[in-house]
Structure formats: C-alpha cells, structure tokens
Amino acid sequence: MHKWYAYKQTTRKLQLVQDVQRVVGAKIRQLRLQKKWSQDVFADISGIHRAQVGAMERGEMNMTLKTLKTVADALKVRIRDLVEDA
C-alpha cells in the first residue's frame, strides 16, 4: 500500500481533510447523543451500518454527500448544520 493512502498522513492538505472529518464526526455524535440514541439505534434509523456510524463519529471516514444527506435526514437537521463548524 502506498503511504499516501494511509489514514494518518502528515501532508498538510490531507491533515486538513482529516480535521474536517473529525469535526463533522464530533457534530454527528453530539446530535445523536442529544437525542439519547445509541449508535445501534441511530444505525437502525438512518439505515447506515453500525460500524460505519462509529467510523464517521471518529472522523475515520470520508463521507459522500449522499451519506451526509442520509445522516442529516435521520437527525432531522440540514447538511449545513453538520459541516458549518468544520
């Protein structure tokens, strides 16, 4: 595997992307916990696999717009609400 595919990269550009992923993931977790949902409950409501929910919240996943829309719909927020602090 080439080093630029690794999750923990040191290039500035990739580090910025990973920072955004972590901020968005933290926001998803915050909103989920406000609803007092476990990751399992959120997975059932959103239709996203539980392991993927965990990866999103840890900032380990590069989410597509479709996934962001699915998450936003499940949490009853706008995509903007998920990414505005990123």
The boundaries of the domain holding residue 26 are 13-83
Q: Read off the pTM.
A: 0.85
SS (H, E, C) 38-52: CHHHHHHHHCCCHHH
76 in a structural domain: yes
pLDDT digits (tens, 9 = 90+) for 12-69: 888 888 899 999 999 999 999 999 999 999 999 999 999 999 999 999 999 999 999 9
1 in a structural domain: no
How many helices and strands, by DSSP H and E, does the chain display? 5, 0
36 in a structural domain: yes
CATH code, domain with 48:
1.10.260.40
